[in-house]
Amino acid sequence: MTYKIAVIKGDGIGPEIINEGIKVLKKVGEKFSVKFEFNEVLAGGAAIDAVGECLPYETLEVCKNSDAVYLGAVGGPKWDDLKGEERPEKALLKLRKELDLFANIRPVIMYDELKDACPLKDEIVQGGLDIVIVRELTGGIYFGERSYSDEYAWDKMEYSKVEVERIAKKAFEIAGKRNKKVTSIDKSNVLDSSRLWRKTVESMKEEYKDIELNHMYVDNGAMQLVVNPKQFDVILTGNMFGDILSDEGSIITGSLGMLPSASLGEGNLGMYEPVHGSAPDIAGQNKANPIATILSAAMMLKYSFGLMEEGEAVENAVKKALKDGIRSNDIAKKDEKSYGTYEIGDKISKYI
């Protein structure tokens, strides 16, 4: 069987980090005798420059006919003056919607080797951290109607019961394979859409009797994440709250450059990308940390292809590199040599 991967390198550091991810995947292919077919297509700023639109029809068709989509990052100052609909980032929202990728899975893992890079006190993160944030991705305020004038603007936030049920199901299932605890985060003391969210999640409790469920308001959740992060196993939340909480979670791990993500729908097709953006400030300088992108490939192997051993091999190779002090500038210890994007990719593929 050949696994078809649509590759969108994107803008800024996107091409540099995706190249390292592909390097590692090719090594996995060799070691485990698995065949991957990489089909490169354009989206984001690169697509605007080439064909005048952020998500060309061909890109969408190739993605729809693939087993997984592997994406770097899109956007950058060059396209910042474009209107909302025309911006590179719109390609991501369209891809998620068109492929019906409603669940965004973001592991927040603090590797023991990176304890020094974590801004929280030692006693708070003692023994490491391992949280999964399950964020609803195709509904809520980012997809609601909106209107803008210089005097008055509004955005509509809405959720249906069906939308909440399908994302909650993912969270319960993931928790079932982990420490069996789901914390659903909303703002039901103020928002009606959150009241429906909480009622729907609560109504599913009976189906997942072995999972402990609790609820938190988002303001408290944001605070708990830095005061007592070890209480969390799986965090279930909506689109906007998940966007904010996962960036907060990312910094606990030491750097945005460490965090992978998967966007999943009902079937096996998924989109895999680092949580961070295109980092225009360090683009083209061989400074970007490729680990978030490489760990996203590990998630692809596990979630879309069911290749668990291969996925673990990638994760173990990353751990070994960190242990050996192979670190980019964002996670290097003070006064220690830091490694470039290519060197880190080389080392990790060597360790597969």
Catalytic residue IDs = 142, 187, 219, 243, 247
State the minimum distance, in angstroms, from the CB of residue 179 to ligand NAD: 28
The reply to whether 86 sits near ligand NAD by the rule CB under 6 A is: no
Give the Cα separation of 173 and 335 in Å (integer).
44
Q: What is the DSSP letter of 214?
A: E
The reply to whether 89 sits near ligand NAD by the rule CB under 6 A is: yes
State the minimum distance, in angstroms, from the CB of residue 56 to ligand NAD: 17
Q: Please identify, using beta-carbon distances, which residue of 194 and 255 lies nearer to ligand NAD.
A: 255
Q: Please identify, using beta-carbon distances, which residue of 18 and 201 lies nearer to ligand NAD.
A: 18
Residues 294-333 as x/- pattern, contact with ligand NAD by CB under 6 A: ----------------------------------x-x---
> Helix or strand or coil: residue 72?
strand
First-to-final CA distance of the chain: 21
The reply to whether 273 sits near ligand NAD by the rule CB under 6 A is: yes
The reply to whether 254 sits near ligand NAD by the rule CB under 6 A is: no
The reply to whether 252 sits near ligand NAD by the rule CB under 6 A is: no
Q: Please identify, using beta-carbon distances, which residue of 204 and 269 lies nearer to ligand NAD.
A: 269
Q: Please identify, using beta-carbon distances, which residue of 59 and 193 lies nearer to ligand NAD.
A: 59
Q: At what angle do helices 14-32 and 308-323 cross, to 10 degrees?
A: 120
Give the Cα separation of 325 and 56 in Å (integer).
41
24: left (phi over 0), alpha (psi -120 to 50) or beta: alpha
The reply to whether 163 sits near ligand NAD by the rule CB under 6 A is: no
Positions 181 through 210 that interact with ligand NAD (CB under 6 A): none
The answer to whether the CB of 46 falls within 8 A of the CB of 12 is no
State the minimum distance, in angstroms, from the CB of residue 12 to ligand NAD: 6
| Residues contacting 149, CB < 8 A, separation 6+ | none
The reply to whether 256 sits near ligand NAD by the rule CB under 6 A is: yes
DSSP string, 283-299: TTTT----HHHHHHHHH
| Residues contacting 262, CB < 8 A, separation 6+ | 104, 105, 270, 271, 272, 296, 299, 300, 303
Q: Please identify, using beta-carbon distances, which residue of 172 and 339 lies nearer to ligand NAD.
A: 339
The reply to whether 246 sits near ligand NAD by the rule CB under 6 A is: no
Residues written for the chain: 352
The reply to whether 278 sits near ligand NAD by the rule CB under 6 A is: yes
234-237 and 2-10: which strand pairing? unpaired
State the minimum distance, in angstroms, from the CB of residue 257 to ligand NAD: 3
The reply to whether 92 sits near ligand NAD by the rule CB under 6 A is: yes
Residues 52-81 as x/- pattern, contact with ligand NAD by CB under 6 A: ---------------------xxxx-----
User: How many amino acids of this chain bind ligand NAD (CB under 6 A)?
Assistant: 22
Nearest CA among 264, 246, 250, 258 for reference residue 315: 258
The reply to whether 282 sits near ligand NAD by the rule CB under 6 A is: yes
Q: Please identify, using beta-carbon distances, which residue of 16 and 163 lies nearer to ligand NAD.
A: 16
The phi and psi torsions of 77 (rounded to 5 degrees) equal: -60, -30
Q: Which helix (H) or strand (E) holds 341?
A: helix 341-350
Interface residues with ligand NAD (CB under 6 A) are 13, 73-76, 89, 92, 256-257, 273, 276-282, 288-289, 292, 328, 330
